[in-house]
Structure 1
Amino acid sequence: MQYLLMIYSAEDAGPQPGTEAFMKMLGEYQSFNDETQNDGVYVAGEPLESINTATTVRVRNGQQEITDGPFAETKEALGGFYLLDCENLDEAIAYAAKIPTAAYGSIEIRPIMNLSD
């Protein structure tokens, strides 16, 4: 079953770009990428640009409403994702715990709905 692992954190939490700690974290992400690819569970994964680049679209009464920024006002924002093909939720949880941002943010796991059944 495929699971979407969504990576949330406050943009000012965790190691900041340009620091040694940030470079270490990038190495940890590369190790995680390698592990999921070697284990055959990796489907996709990408970091997202800053929430300052977000655009939210709503349609109300047939009219588009476009606003800058994320949909919700919150400290934690979606910063990236992994799509993994795991045997079960327990396996997805085990991988989520290995994502470096889990140490200061959170990882939301959602199963992908299978509409072909």
Structure 2
Amino acid sequence: MLIIYGNQELWNSVGPDEQQRLFEAFDAFNKEYYDTGELLGAYGVADAAATKLVRLADGQPAITDGPYLETKEYLASWYLIDVDSEQRAVEIAAALPSAVHQPTEVWPILHEASREAGVDIGVV
């Protein structure tokens, strides 16, 4: 899994032409790696201000606005890839258009839950 962190201040400092260029670069990146079969999914998330925190309190969901960030960076998107090696995952992470501005975390996925509850289908 490739995890990209956003920084709203940094993003706002980029002009609209550069933002459009980055969107187009991500579209090209996504197409290239979907075509190789290595990209399983790419998911962007809403701005941190749209996030809700859910806790269980007295058996009921307690919902608050959040997260309360102590840093300027927040989870912005993640990519789910299927590759043969860590080296290949690093190569793909380095090819992300955002790699010039923001680091990308590369996290191995240990297993996946199947649709049948409680069944571990192995290491991905």
Segment of structure 1 superposing worse, 22-31 or 7-16: 7-16
Higher Rg: 2
Report the counterpart of residue 49 of structure 1 in structure 2.
Answer: 46
Q: Which amino acid aligns with 1:27?
A: E
Runs of 5+ consecutive residues of structure 1 not aligned to the other structure: none
Superposition deviation, residue 11 in structure 1: 1.4
Aligned partners of 1:54 and 1:70 also within 8 Å: yes
Aligned partners of 2:9 and 2:72 also within 8 Å: no
State, as a whole percentage, how many aligned pairs show the same letter.
29
Q: 2:88 & 2:20 partners in 1: Cα distance? A: 27
Number of equivalent positions = 114
- Return the TM-score normalized by structure 1: 0.82
Q: Equivalent of 2:24, from 27, 30, 52? A: 27
Query: Which residues in structure 2 correspond to 1:1-117 (within 5 Å)?
Result: 4-14=1-11, 19-59=16-56, 64-70=61-67, 72-114=69-111, 115-117=120-122
Runs of 5+ consecutive residues of structure 2 not aligned to the other structure: 112-119
Segment of structure 1 superposing worse, 71-80 or 42-51: 71-80
- Return the TM-score normalized by structure 2: 0.78
Q: Which has the higher strand share?
A: 1
Q: Which has the bigger relative contact order, CA under 8 A and spacing at least 6?
A: 1
